[in-house]
Amino acid sequence: MLNHLLRTTKKTIGRARMLRKTQLTVAEKLLWEELRTRRLRGLKFRRQVPLGPFIADFFCPEAHLVIELDGESHEGKEGYDEWRTRFLGEHNYHVLRLSNEEVIESMEDVLKKIVASIDAWKKQFER
């Protein structure tokens, strides 16, 4: 297992594999086209990555950035999402939450937010 990932279960790994193969939303497909093959600042992004008990929609190991796209499946689950964000933050990951609508309607703004998150993360290590 890669050293930047949290320990996870075989069940979570299997679910992540299944999600990678079958269940991309329109927003996930659009964002993946912008992030894949190091298209954004030469950074490696992965999708549907198991991190502990969770599966991140997108993950950039170099910047410890988790990108979560929130759509209809997240409605009514705000408490769970907050707990998940807090858990990942405690393990040194930064979580950026974006709505599916945002991705579909304003990709340029979404990419600016991602770059700003990465820059903010890098800035903490500058002296």
The residues, ordered by sequence, that sit 6+ positions from 53 with a Cβ below 8 Å of its Cβ are: 8, 9, 12
Tell me whether residue 13 is in a domain: no
Query: Using one digit for the tens of pLDDT, what is the confidence trace for 108-121?
Result: 999 999 999 999 98
Residue 55 belongs to a domain: yes
Residue 110 is part of a domain; what is its CATH number?
3.40.960.10
DSSP 124: T
pLDDT in tens, 48-104: 999 988 889 999 999 999 999 987 655 666 788 898 899 999 998 999 999 999 999
The length of the chain is 127
What is the model's pTM?
A: 0.82
CA-to-CA separations, 53 to 28, 50, 88, in angstroms, rounded: 21, 7, 10
3 within domain boundaries: no
Residue by residue, what is the 3-state secondary structure of 52-93? CCEEEEEEEHHHCEEEEEECHHHCCCHHHHHHHHHHHHHCCC
How many domains in the chain? 1
